């Protein structure tokens, strides 16, 4: 919908705009009001070249789009009926719980295996473990490809699928070859369009899913869903959106929980939303409340850092990881709350 700066376009302006949209196989339909006339673009109005050319005209105030820029991830797209499973959970139906260590310590693999068994016992559906780690400081531990074997060993022993972060094409190939079922794109790479394309291309034709974090730079709704669209555009739409807290924050928290983003995401996209309360607050003691808040806001799942002995962990684990005892209680409460807040299937509504 084109809104001119004045109350209506002059005949010359209308001709100019009509000529532009005709190049893109569209037409203009004026909608005449008592005071203002606005101009509908009839046809596919999503072409950026066309929009940019019209918005560049000095007599055009703005274009309000009716069609969504997300052809696949929009909740009105045909994919809105797309359902898929991770382990024994159908996304969007039961609460998906991802839990495990921030970082696998390749020198002490027993901790990861114990953690994996403990999070399964606590009721988690998917095990997380960082093989390659994005670290602010280049001298901090960067992860170790050898940890991939430890991750897959935990998957075999527990029978649960696993998720790990990938940051470059080599990681993607190694993770897929090893049998990793969910690839994580971290908050630092959430707007790395080259990586998003590589992941989309790599998972096309597979059942692999992607856990896509919200950008560390407080990514907007549009940026977040568009990043998912980059991946889905290659043919596999199994993308989970993962809000993980924003900056700046209150003193005392690492990040600020962004659980209130969930209802906004759900208005625009059908993609499941799995919130990461661990990075959202950054301190183990606050994680249970943040997890329940996320579920209350409508999250389809939680991604929680847990460790059998947090003080022996590396990366975020000493500060952020909850113990299996805390995790068990959290999962029970989160699942109970999810049953209360989850919209009832349409057929059971009165
Ligand atoms: C992580 O999951 O350990 C991690 C680094 O997360 P984020 O990208 O959200 O900081
Ligand atoms: Mn972490």
Distance between Cα 130 and ligand 2 center (Å) = 8
Distance between Cα 237 and ligand 1 center (Å) = 22
pLDDT category of residue 273 using cuts at 50, 70 and 90:
very high
pLDDT category of residue 49 using cuts at 50, 70 and 90:
very high
Which of 279, 318, 321 gets mutated to test ligand 1 (max ligand atoms within 8 A of its CB)?
Answer: 279
Class of domain 87-341: alpha beta
Question: What is the tens place of the pLDDT at every residue in 221-255?
Answer: 999 999 999 999 999 999 999 999 998 878 899 99
Question: What is the tens place of the pLDDT at every residue in 124-174?
Answer: 999 999 999 999 999 999 999 999 999 999 999 999 999 999 999 999 999
Distance between Cα 280 and ligand 1 center (Å) = 10
Instruction: Single out the residue of 108, 26, 118, 113 nearest to residue 63, CA to CA.
Output: 26
324 and 118 in contact (C-beta within 8 Å)? Answer: yes
- Ligand 1 pocket (Cβ < 6 Å) reads 102, 130, 134, 186-188, 213, 244, 276, 279, 316
Question: What percentage of the chain reaches a pLDDT higher than 70?
Answer: 98
Is this structure's pTM higher than 0.85? Answer: yes
Say yes or no to pLDDT of 203 above 80: yes
Question: What is the tens place of the pLDDT at every residue in 2-23?
Answer: 999 999 999 999 999 999 999 9
| Residue 329 DSSP SS3 | helix
Q: For residue 128, which ligand has an atom nearest its CA? A: 1
181 and 209 in contact (C-beta within 8 Å)? Answer: yes
pLDDT category of residue 348 using cuts at 50, 70 and 90:
very low
Instruction: Single out the residue of 133, 1, 139 nearest to residue 63, CA to CA.
Output: 1
Q: Return the domain boundaries, the chain.
A: 2-65, 87-341
Is domain 2-65 annotated with CATH 3.30.70?
A: yes
Q: Which of 159-168, 190-199, 340-349 has the lowest mean pLDDT?
A: 340-349
Question: What is the tens place of the pLDDT at every residue in 103-117?
Answer: 999 999 999 999 999
Cβ-Cβ contacts under 8 Å for 296 (sequence gap 6 or more): 259, 337, 341
């Amino acid at each position: 919908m084109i809104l001119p700066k004045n109350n209506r376009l002059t005949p010359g302006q209308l001709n100019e705009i009509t000529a532009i949209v005709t190049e893109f196989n569209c037409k203009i339909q004026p909608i005449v009001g008592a005071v203002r006339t606005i101009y509908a673009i009839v046809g596919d109005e999503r072409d950026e070249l066309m929009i940019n050319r019209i918005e560049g005209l000095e007599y055009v105030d703005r274009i309000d789009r009716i069609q969504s820029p997300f052809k696949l991830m929009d909740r009105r797209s045909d994919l809105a009926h797309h359902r898929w499973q991770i382990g024994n959970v159908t996304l969007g139906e039961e609460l998906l719980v991802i839990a495990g260590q921030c970082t696998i310590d390749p020198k002490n693999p027993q901790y990861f295996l114990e953690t994996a068994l403990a999070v399964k016992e606590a009721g988690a559906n998917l095990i997380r473990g960082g093989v390659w780690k994005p670290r602010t400081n280049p001298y901090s531990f960067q992860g170790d490809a050898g940890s991939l074997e430890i991750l897959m060993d935990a998957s075999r022993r527990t029978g649960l699928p696993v998720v790990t972060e990938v940051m470059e094409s080599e990681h993607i190939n190694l993770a897929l070859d090893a049998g990793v079922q969910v690839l994580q794109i971290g908050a630092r790479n959430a707007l790395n369009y080259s990586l998003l394309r590589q992941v989309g291309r790599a998972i096309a034709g597979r059942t692999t899913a992607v856990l896509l974090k919200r950008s560390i730079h407080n990514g907007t709704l549009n940026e977040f869903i568009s990043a998912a669209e980059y991946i889905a555009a290659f043919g596999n739409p199994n993308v989970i959106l993962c809000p993980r807290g924003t900056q700046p924050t209150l003193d005392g928290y690492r990040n600020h929980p962004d659980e209130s983003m969930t209802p906004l995401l759900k208005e625009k996209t059908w993609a499941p939303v799995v919130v990461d309360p661990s990075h959202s607050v950054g301190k183990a003691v606050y994680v249970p409340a943040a997890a329940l808040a996320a579920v209350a806001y409508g999250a389809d799942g939680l991604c929680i850092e847990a460790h059998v002995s947090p003080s022996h962990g590396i990366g975020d684990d000493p500060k952020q990881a909850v113990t299996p005892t805390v995790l068990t209680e959290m999962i029970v409460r989160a699942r109970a709350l999810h049953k209360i807040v989850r919209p009832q299937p349409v057929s059971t509504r009165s």
